[in-house]
Amino acid sequence: MATKLSTRAILLSLFLGLAVFTGKPVATHGGGTKDAVADKVRKIVATAIQDNPGVGPALIRLLFHDCWVQGCDGSVLLDGSKTEKAAKNNIGLDGFAVIDEIKAKVGEDVSCADIVVLAARDATFIVSRGKIDYNVTMGRMDGVKSSAAAADAVLPPSTFNITQLNANFAAKGFNTRELVALSGAHAVGVAHRSSFQDRLDNATATPIVPKYRKALTDDVEKQKKLQGTQDPIEPNNIRDKELAFRNASGYDDTGVDTSKAARGVLDNSYYHANLQNKVLFRSDWELRNDTTGVAGGVMATFEANANKWFLQFGNAMAKLSKLPAEGTRFEIRKNCRKNN
């Protein structure tokens, strides 16, 4: 209980500090200002994360999965059996209820695409304990098309190698440094077993520390029973596992805060884990295999200097938020889950 109260106290402090966000007011379609809308968004996001810390990583992930597909157009929010929500690469996507709550509060004149961008910005600030703050603008429109096939065609799966990752990011105008920076989001959140099973199966396994592989394999079997599913979730970050798991994996926590209060904090601990080859996804491990040496060098820089990563991650998130919507027909949805 003491830890829970401590976490709530931290979130409350950050919530009170959200007013320090900078940026010039930008007129919305309804004639209000960015500041008025943003204030409502940040309050709802802060409360949602206080009630359920898992909401923060979900909202950060939601931005990438929206903007990477057809640009920032809110298309990931549309319900349907064949929409982006049904894409294989969107397994575990969450945060939709918070978006709905925000939409009900800010009204019909604010686009769902803008809400996703604002919510991700605020979640990043809170989950990073105020270390990552970046500006965004408003004025986006909502797309009317959403396709699972389109999402799976462009979203990088967890099995991509470094060549595929670089090509995928380059297609959106992002370089290797930005790829490595955005990958740092895996310091928080969870992953389904199916997203990293290839790292454990003998036929598909990429090199992985034997102790870590055994500890992870054993824990997955344990979690299948505890969670009542064949596809249980595991924390993305080994930092967030119990001490027994970290010890069994041979994890070196030098320079990493592994206290319970630090669990779920967006920081540079991802790079500490990756440089030890104690990460879930092949796509994370692949950053060590850049033949140019760029990715590995950037990871080492971010591991050694958290402030450099905070700045680069914020810049990359701001850039991600600016990806232009693709298509010929747009609207401002009255309900983020369906077209008008």
Task: Find all residues with CB under 8 Å of 103, minimum gap 6, and list them.
Answer: 110, 112, 115, 335, 336
Could you give the CA distance from residue 279 to residue 71 in angstroms, rounded to a whole number? 29
| Residue 152, marked binder | no
| Residue 54, marked binder | no
| Residue 252, marked binder | no
Task: Find all residues with CB under 8 Å of 123, minimum gap 6, and list them.
Answer: 45, 49, 55, 56, 57, 59, 60
Burial 260-291 (b: 16+ CB within 10 A, else e): eeebbbbbbbbbbbbbbebbbbbbbbbbbebe
| Residue 284, marked binder | no
State both tokens at 23. 């940026």
Task: Find all residues with CB under 8 Å of 295, minimum gap 6, and list them.
Answer: 162, 176, 179, 180, 287, 288, 289
| Residue 75, marked binder | yes
State both tokens at 284. 């994370």
| Residue 188, marked binder | no
| Residue 296, marked binder | no
Q: Which residues are catalytic?
A: 65
Could you give the CA distance from residue 242 to residue 1 in angstroms, rounded to a whole number? 17
- Would you say 52 and 105 are in contact if contact means Cβ atoms under 8 Å apart? no
| Residue 73, marked binder | yes
Q: Of 227, 239, 144, 157, whose CA–CA distance to 199 is shortest?
A: 157
| Residue 242, marked binder | no
Residues annotated as binding site for Ca(2+)?
Answer: 66, 69, 71, 73, 75, 84, 267
Residues annotated as binding site for substrate?
Answer: 156
Residues annotated as binding site?
Answer: 66, 69, 71, 73, 75, 84, 156, 186, 267
